[in-house]
Structure 1
Amino acid sequence: MSNSTTPSLSSGSSNPSTHIATPVPSERICTDQHALYCFDVLVAHFEDREPMDPPFQNKNEKYALFVTWNTTSHLRSNKKPALRGCIGNFTPMKLADGLREYALVSALEDHRFSPIKASELPHLSCNVSLLTPMTPISSPLDWTPGEHGIHISFPHPSAHRPLSATYLPEICADQGWTKEETVLSAIQKAGYKHKVVVGDVVWQSLKVKIYGSEKATTTWEAYVEWYKGKGGKLKVVKS
């Protein structure tokens, strides 16, 4: 969820003695229909119309969720699409309402980026992440990259205001970070810009929770095909 610079480290890797498993649903709860709906919400915003009805059956079920937009207009160092916006909510919401809200919030109100423009649509892809409940862990490093998302919180050591940040499960692997790098980057993302080293006062004050997620992804091309298949005619962007 972030492309910020990874902070320097002052300690080696840790090998926690315990492993916390992430609950896995017996059936998929997140599908490409959720991501396609987010695309339609954004397109409808630009076309000044109402989005299509949610195309998924679990529209009234409640989940914590995040919506992420990536763009091929810019590429990261690993040649993957660059982040264009990512915002969500840890409070479970009805899927239809939550996706409709955060499809726009993540596209237009992520303070790290300028609002997405209609001309960018053909370069976008959309990820939807539906989250499992968070579980506290005793050590900031007691989690598994690619399996767990992390949520950190801690008091600012001088201002004493609470700070917090999160990274979804795929971020650590996508960025090529170690667990230490991921936690230290999350500290910066939370708004604490001073140097932090593993084991110092700030590190010791961390409260860390982990969670799992199901993710679905779709592209602009897939959305256009899906939308036309439903008889829709695009107005804002011609493909």
Structure 2
Amino acid sequence: MSHSTTPSLASGSSGPSTHIATPVPTERICTDQHALYCFDVLVAHFEGREPMDPPFQNKDEKYALFVTWNTTAHLRSNKKPALRGCIGNFTPMKLADGLREYALVSALEDHRFSPIKASEIPHLSCNVSLLTPMTPISSPLDWTPGRHGIHISFTHPSTLRPLSATYLPEICTDQGWTREETVLSAIQKAGYRQKIVVGDVVWQSLKVKIYGSEKATTTWESYTKWPKGTGGKLKKGKK
């Protein structure tokens, strides 16, 4: 199990800087237990039972959050586990409720992928990201890869439909993208399929916000060894 944190929205030494900072928490707000709880929620779904009571102290505190599932059954070109589902909510909600909801939504309702099956669980790892508040930036490239997540929004120039998309802080570096490539990919993710050129009408219309995150990661193996887990076998349930 591992942790990573983005305690501040202040940029690093390389590239453009925002000079925007958020308070650095004195204690971790995101821990292994949050990711382990998501595993239990997913296992409980397939076993046809209620998940365990939240094992963390901050269950009633409100956070914007994302839950991400990755799988070792498929690997990316860089040999890292492939994305299997990632959905969250920028509206702060009670942590216990949010994790219980999005552990399943990200596993079963990410329309980029087929729903996760019970047979896939031994290959999964789970990331929980708790987000700091979003801060607007003046330029789409005024952020630091690996430190900032980005949220873009714009209006489709033809249909006038509002479009938006986000990438968590780790996505840019995990994929090996530049800032420009990340923003262009986010535009496509938002649903705009036409070619984009930096500086064109769509690019200039972008409204971009950045945010930080604190993240915890765990694996199926760690869940099976966790004293509160259900062991190494997935019991057959009602679903």
The TM-score, its normalising length taken from structure 2, stands at 0.90
Which aligned pairs between 1:26-65 and structure 2 lie closer than 5 A?
Answer: 26-65=26-65
- Distance in 2, matches of 1:48 and 1:83, equals 26
Hey, what does 1:138 align to over in structure 2? Answer: 138
Supply the AA of the counterpart residue of 1:236: K
The total of aligned residue pairs comes to: 222
Supply the AA of the counterpart residue of 1:154: F
Hey, what does 1:107 align to over in structure 2? Answer: 107
Supply the AA of the counterpart residue of 1:89: N
Hey, what does 2:162 align to over in structure 1? Answer: 162
Supply the AA of the counterpart residue of 2:31: T
Hey, what does 2:121 align to over in structure 1? Answer: 121
Hey, what does 1:148 align to over in structure 2? Answer: 148
Q: CA deviation at 1:23?
A: 4.0
Hey, what does 2:235 align to over in structure 1? Answer: 236
- Distance in 1, matches of 2:228 and 2:39, equals 14
TM-superposition CA deviations, 1:188-215 (whole Å, max 9, x none): 0000011001100000000000000000
The percentage of aligned residue pairs carrying the same residue is 89
- Distance in 1, matches of 2:187 and 2:95, equals 29
Residue segments in structure 2 that go unaligned for 5+ positions in a row: 1-13
Q: CA deviation at 1:43?
A: 0.1
The TM-score, its normalising length taken from structure 1, stands at 0.90
TM-superposition CA deviations, 1:40-87 (whole Å, max 9, x none): 000000000000000000000000000000000000000000000000
Contact 1:67-1:106 at 8 Å conserved across structures: yes
Hey, what does 1:214 align to over in structure 2? Answer: 214
Q: CA deviation at 1:25?
A: 1.6
Which aligned pairs between 1:183-198 and structure 2 lie closer than 5 A?
Answer: 183-198=183-198
Supply the AA of the counterpart residue of 2:198: V
Supply the AA of the counterpart residue of 2:83: L
- Distance in 2, matches of 1:140 and 1:110, equals 26
- Distance in 1, matches of 2:166 and 2:22, equals 17
Hey, what does 2:6 align to over in structure 1? Answer: none
- Distance in 2, matches of 1:81 and 1:15, equals 28
TM-superposition CA deviations, 1:166-201 (whole Å, max 9, x none): 000000000000000000000000000110011000
SS of the residue aligned with 1:100? Answer: helix
SS of the residue aligned with 2:169? Answer: coil
SS of the residue aligned with 1:20? Answer: coil
SS of the residue aligned with 2:20? Answer: coil
Q: CA deviation at 1:21?
A: 3.5
